[in-house]
Amino acid sequence: MPYQDDFGRAINYLRVSVTDRCNLRCVYCMPAGGVEKRAHTDILSYEELALIVRAAAELGISKVRLTGGEPLARLGLPEFVGMVAAIPGIDDLSLTTNATLLARHAQALAGAGLRRINVSLDTLRPERFRQISRRGRLEDVWDGIAAARLAGLTPIKFNMVVVRGLNDDEVVEFARRTASAGWHVRYIELMPIGASAGWSGDGVVPIPEIRARIEREVGTLAPVHGPTGNGPARYYRLPGAEGTVGFIGAMSDHFCATCNRLRLTADGRLRPCLMSDEEIDLRTPLRNGAGPQGMTALLAQAIQLKPQRHRLGEALPPRGRTMSEIGG
Ligand code: SAM
């Protein structure tokens, strides 16, 4: 049974950032020069991360998502996938990736026990992809997706962060793919985190606006009932579409009442809430010999620290750590 917090939320989901480094520099996420590099020894080893996941499983965590930074930028990810997949109680293991490095790893990841992937994709236009990511190639993403399909890492969900003036003119094109190609597309509202922390609101396209544009140009969105995901998205379907349209609006739609997750940063800090700077250091006690039971106790403590709701947009944004650093 998952452990419950003070507000009756069952916490069964852990996002594990395996690295704070990324091979891309998306304009709304990271500064052009990247984030300050942490020393190798600051980052938890795969064995340390796996020990924490095992401790989390003891508390009823059953779903784990690997993220980053770009998780595939860390060497040996398939081996780590194998370690996590073998932990009793973990029955859903997935990965969030920009897919640019996926082609060469998809088969090994699937073989090691990965079930499915989410791909962050903000544009379908090669030139624009380069402009947003400051260095990536859209071609590599397509190769990665093809390899993931071949390896059975499905269903793939595509996450598009919508930014006014940057890619909001592609919202409808993405929605059309849910019918023409069976894609599952999720639109994500820009959050004032990382390179967007100083955001004045100009870049944000509120979910109701995205939804209205799709309905105006493509068709009515019918709500999808039943299990569609583990997270905050609300799902819909366009007429005749095999794929789904999801919306994640941290700002326009507080989903805190159903928040079921904890986040572990690559340097061993546990964040009860993505949008608060509150963190519990696991690395120091772990390296001082706290062991699995000590980790389970600290995880339980973190769950009790989960705020009832986030205060983003009401107070100062988090102190400027990027999504990559906090395991977005
Ligand atoms: N590199 C992996 C990837 O691209 O999926 C995992 C980490 S990345 C930080 C996770 C997600 O956070 C991406 O979809 C990215 O677009 C999103 N993200 C980064 N900064 C954001 C912001 N300020 N608001 C909303 N989403 C953001």
Per-residue pLDDT, 328: 67
Six-digit token string for 56: 């989390």
Per-residue pLDDT, 315: 52
Per-residue pLDDT, 249: 86
Per-residue pLDDT of 228-270, as tens digits, reads: 666 777 899 999 999 999 999 877 666 788 888 899 999 999 9
Six-digit token string for 215: 């309905």
Other C-beta atoms closer than 10 Å to the C-beta of 98 total 25
**φ, ψ of residue 10 in degrees (nearest 5):** -85, 120
Considering only CA atoms, give the Rg of the chain: 19
Q: How far is the CA of 290 from the centre of ligand 1 (A)?
A: 32
| E-state strands within 163-207 | 184-189
Per-residue pLDDT, 27: 95
- Could you tell me what percent of the chain has a pLDDT over 70? 92
* Whole-structure pTM value: 0.93
| E-state strands within 102-233 | 116-120, 157-162, 184-189, 222-223
Give the C-alpha distances (Å, rounded to integers) separating 255 from 152, 156, 232, 234.
31, 23, 6, 10
Q: How far is the CA of 100 from the centre of ligand 1 (A)?
A: 14
Per-residue pLDDT, 229: 65
Q: 24, 35, 96: which to mutate for ligand 1, most atoms within 8 A of CB?
A: 96
Per-residue pLDDT of 76-110, as tens digits, reads: 999 999 999 999 999 999 999 999 999 999 999 99
Per-residue pLDDT, 317: 47
Per-residue pLDDT of 157-214, as tens digits, reads: 999 999 999 999 999 999 999 999 999 999 999 988 877 777 667 899 999 999 999 9
- Residues 157-190 as b/e (b if ≥16 CB within 10 A, e otherwise) read bbbbbbbeebbbebbebbbbbbbeeebbbbbbbb
Cα angle for residues 269, 6, 66 (degrees, 5° grid) = 35
Give ligand 1 pocket residues (Cβ under 6 A): 22, 28-29, 67-68, 70, 96-98, 120, 159, 161, 188, 190-191, 193-194, 196, 323-324, 328
Q: How far is the CA of 255 from the centre of ligand 1 (A)?
A: 18
Q: Which amino acid makes up residue 234? A: R
Q: How far is the CA of 294 from the centre of ligand 1 (A)?
A: 31
Six-digit token string for 317: 């944004």
